[in-house]
Structure 1
Amino acid sequence: MGLHIESRPSDSPHVERVWRSRSSGVAEMTAVAAQHWDLVVWEHRGEVLAAVQGPETRASPAPVPEDATFFGIDFALGTTLAHLPPGRLVDSSAPLAAATDRSIWLAGSALRLPDYDNAEFFVRRLVRDGIVVRDPVVAAAVAGRSTGVSERTVQRRFVATTGLSRGAVQRIERARRAAVLLQEGIAAHDVVHRLGYFDQPHLAHSLTRYIGRTATQLAAGGPTVPLSLLYKTADGAPS
């Protein structure tokens, strides 16, 4: 019973993470804030649907269809759909029209729907066809490398390619890191110092806005409404 989520990292520079889930006996989840846009495919009662989901700037309740399966590709920061920048999708989504029962229309092309195991192959085709593009300045900034341009240019490119300011991306990322640490049993005051919050009220405000939970709820594993995807990256820093 509940929302069962599985995810994996990706070796593609265009992909942050690939995930899949299934629902059983749950009608609602809390969608936590997310700095990435993603392609989501779900199947419910024999119907297959797909959409592009934009970045989300705060936690919000989201309905969960009964006995549905979901699959998603979270795209890396700085990666965009050439015809549909994330800035147009902040806190919203765009449905994708079906070409057949297992393919979709995307940027004028009929594409067979990917799955959990072949997501990177699907993304390589999107890149090859110029449907997905990547801003090297934003990619360098995210990786902590020299961008070769001014900070003002980096900020402008961040907004253009992610739909969010660099500061907003960092605040969302920090809240997600805090949530994972609290779920692992790290005390709130230690999370404050580890992640650079001013104090516990500052942490509490961030968690409420971006995660939709208090520190106590995260530490206790409640309430019963499930959260959307939270995870640790290889270096220990969740996205």
Structure 2
Amino acid sequence: MNVEAISGLAAVLARIDAATTSAGVIEGLTSFLHLFGLRHLLIARLPRTDEGLWPRPVLYDGWPAEWSEHYTSSDHFSHDPCVLRSRVAGKPFLWSELSRERMSIEQLRVMDEATEFAMLNGLCVPVYEPCKAPAVITVAGDRIVLGKNDLPVLEMVSTHAFRALQQLRGAVGESVHKELTHRERDILSWTAAGKSAEDVGCILSISKLTVERHLSNIREKLDATNSTHAAVKALLRGDIHL
């Protein structure tokens, strides 16, 4: 058991509760996760099995940028064994608990390539809410230190932070939790300049499919009917500039 983490548990929960912005909640959560060697955090909803779209609305993206790009362009989401487990798991699980013997070649590739981005092991905390798509809090690192009694504590703090993010969104609006990432702003800026998805892919050295998936996520984040509508909203918000 991580004694330092346990001794600071009340303080981190109070810090999360006192946060008035999503950034404040994330800072409280990540400061706690770092005590266990968990450096990379992603909080996102999972699409339904019949949707097949990724990325979905992301409440926070703290994955290494290069891994996020590679994950999306390689369509790893479709084969990610952590995603499959998160859909049915009733409790948190470590990546190392997944049976490699039962994984397909594609699933093994996802896990093996994650290690190349300093994500040697990780933890998934599934979150289920009534009438909403499931969500998952994923944290990872290259040297994590977890005792068997630490998982319930990490689950409690992670889900507490998740609910705090949801409450802030309901209190002050969707935009609080739907900031565009740097990559999304780049893609939308070029789209607003009249470039096609194929053109944007060439400019940014990513695939057309990756561009289209980012645009889908942008439209959902901004509640836009199409990419032009999204560009207008982003301009008004100051997210992009022409």
Question: Under a length normalisation based on structure 1, what TM-score does the superposition of the two structures give?
Answer: 0.28
Greater share of residues in strand: 1
Question: Under a length normalisation based on structure 2, what TM-score does the superposition of the two structures give?
Answer: 0.27
